[in-house]
Amino acid sequence: MKKIFKPFKFTSFLVLTILTVFACNQDFTSLESDVIGLKNFNTGSYPIPITSYNKKLDSLRINNLSANLLGVYNDPVYGQSTASIITQITPTIFDPSFGDNAVIDSVILTIPYYNKTIKDSTDVNGNSVYSIKDSLFGSSPIKLSVYQNNYFLRDFNPNTELNVSQNYYSHASDTPNPTDNFAITETSIINFDSHKGALIYEDNEFIPSSEAIVLKKVSKDGTETTERIAPALRAHLDKDFWTATIFDKEGSDELRNANNFYNYFRGLYFKAEAINGDGNMLLFNIADNGSNITIYYSYDSSADSTEKFQDSYGFNFNGNKLNPFINNYNLVSIGDGDRINGDEKLYLKGSEGSMAVVDLFSGMVNCEGSETTAIECFKKEYRAVDENGDYILKNGNYVLKKLINEAQLIIYEDESMTVPSEDFHKYDRIYAYDVKNNIPFIDYSFDPSSNTADPLNSKIIHLGNRVTDDNGVSKYKIRLTSQLNNILQKDSTNTKIGLVLSTNVNYVSTSSILNSKDQVTGVPAASIITPRGTVVYGSNENVPANKRMSLEIYFTESNQN
């Protein structure tokens, strides 16, 4: 009997494109599904409602991310974002002894950029050539200042149960001062510019370089050696500051253990500022083993000797780290969308920007003459029933009369966006996640195309790369085959889909939202550490049908029952 679905109340349709797929017994077995009748296949099509809408993001957890942005980025669609870093530093040795008459020779800050070695590329000396283009946004200089931070970053939240970590959340817009960096907790608003101490480094025209850093060392016998390290922020810091702050505290309680030190020296504040409204933004690998501050010093070999020995004392960045943002989205207005009718355009923006929520099978439909939910009607269309009209269970799974071989959410990019060049969005990826549980979908786990070295080409079966056709139309495909089959076979919950922009789909940790007022309680942390943004078409009925977000389903059906 042919089923005709009539929409009850929804503003857009999710068109299920049905193709004839001739599958053999082995196809069904590989999916561990029972389909009644495996001969004389036929196909059909019907509409199912879908709603997709915008969700403005704020109050996102910004502490202890896997990487940190620093700099100024002007998005051609949204406007300007500025990212700074507040971080604790941790001595590699506590209660140090610096020797007699110790004098600091130099203090070196080193923080590597995210980079990769260009395959089969070497310079004239045969050394590997590095690239930082995947982690660098923009090319104009910024003003970079490094201050002592005087705000104490707590490890634990005093307003919760014992040993619950203290989280810090973004406060990037609608702030009292648009040039200062803020964060919030459950009980307070923090202005880090009100807690900055001494200025210990400043570069009024900072531009990161992809060149390897060459270090030269001369031994006592005059022998010179060189060492190459990956591209990094490498700077000489004020010696007098570190003499007074660290060396003059030798033997004191302040340097005796981590707790004492964090309370005494509360960290560094890396503040980025635009120059003439422009700049660059960089993804820092601040958690890397090569990130450190090293104090090189000399001391007397004995109290009455003029011979000098040399040594070093260092700090790493293993403590708390925050990545506050200042957002001036003056080119487009970001707000919460229409959950009933869906939105025409969806704004996907990182760095406390915006995301989209997709509700598959939303609303009610007329199913075989009676009003029911779209998801229940979907189950009736695909599940087999017995002579009493009840779904058939076998080995804990529902038996199917139609098997989904492929299901893809198709998302079209808004071609009206004004961008600098055709390949401006070349490295963009759309990441889909389960909004209710803040986890990837099962199709992510089943995707064998993981690539830890190259996130751009990782998980490309589930999270397809951006593809542009000969007519200049760009789109993304999100594979949801296993997700839908689990709904049919195992009665899994149909959860809403969150869509965010990501430049690293391998990073699946969640950043919570403070005091969330709706179902979205967290976002993939990877979306926070990308400054990029894009605009795609949504599901509203005003969107042309050939650009409207849709779900394509390919299935196999038997006409023998």
pLDDT score of 32 more than 50: no
pLDDT score of 561 more than 70: no
- Residue 119: what pLDDT? 55
User: What crossing angle do the helices spanning 481-490 and 374-382 adopt, rounded to 10°?
Assistant: 80
Domain identity same for 289 and 421: no
Domain identity same for 17 and 162: no
- Residue 125: what pLDDT? 59
Q: What is the pLDDT of residues 333-347, one digit of tens each?
A: 899 999 999 999 999
- Residue 417: what pLDDT? 87
* CA separation for the pair 528, 65 (Å, rounded): 9
* CA separation for the pair 423, 463 (Å, rounded): 19
pLDDT score of 423 more than 80: no
Q: How confident is the model at residue 240 (pLDDT cuts 50, 70, 90)?
A: very high
Domain identity same for 350 and 442: yes
Domain identity same for 180 and 233: yes
Listed range (34-48, 52-66, 70-84) with the worst mean pLDDT: 34-48
pLDDT score of 166 more than 80: yes
Over pLDDT 90: what percentage of the chain? 67
Domain's final residue, options 269, 297, 323: 323
- Residue 421: what pLDDT? 77
Domain identity same for 80 and 228: yes
Domain identity same for 224 and 202: yes
Domain identity same for 13 and 95: no
Q: Which residue has the higher pLDDT, 212 or 541?
A: 541
Per-residue HEC secondary structure of 315-327 comes to EECCCCEECCEEE
Please, which residues have CB within 8 angstroms of residue 50's CB and are 6 or more apart in sequence? 10, 12, 13, 14, 342, 358, 359, 360, 361, 362, 539, 549, 550, 551
pLDDT score of 124 more than 60: no
Domain identity same for 472 and 348: yes
**248: closest CA among 107, 93, 96, 108?**
96
- Residue 38: what pLDDT? 42
Domain identity same for 250 and 350: no
Q: What is the pLDDT of residues 426-477, one digit of tens each?
A: 778 999 999 999 999 999 999 999 998 888 899 999 999 999 888 888 999 9
| 3-class DSSP state of 292 | strand
Domain's final residue, options 307, 323, 339: 323
- Residue 36: what pLDDT? 42
Q: What is the pLDDT of residues 506-542, one digit of tens each?
A: 999 999 999 999 999 999 999 999 999 999 999 999 9
Domain's final residue, options 277, 301, 323: 323
- Residue 20: what pLDDT? 31
Domain identity same for 387 and 492: yes
How far lies 401's CA from each of 15, 28, 41, 192, 360, in Å?
20, 11, 10, 61, 21
pLDDT score of 297 more than 60: yes
Query: For residue 367, what are its two tokens?
Result: 């199913």
Q: What is the mean pLDDT of residues 49-67?
A: 94
Q: What is the mean pLDDT of residues 185-209?
A: 96
The mean of the pLDDT values for the chain is 87
- 117 burial level (CB within 10 Å; 0-12, 13-18, 19+): middle
- Residue 15: what pLDDT? 36
Q: What is the pLDDT of residues 5-17, one digit of tens each?
A: 434 333 333 333 3
Which residues span the domain enclosing 193? 68-323
Q: How confident is the model at residue 351 (pLDDT cuts 50, 70, 90)?
A: very high
Q: Return the bridge partners of 278, or none.
A: 275
Domain identity same for 74 and 55: no
* CA separation for the pair 105, 103 (Å, rounded): 6
Q: What's phi and psi for 446, nearest 5 deg?
A: -80, -10
Domain identity same for 238 and 355: no
Structurally, the chain folds into a number of domains equal to 2
- Residue 441: what pLDDT? 97
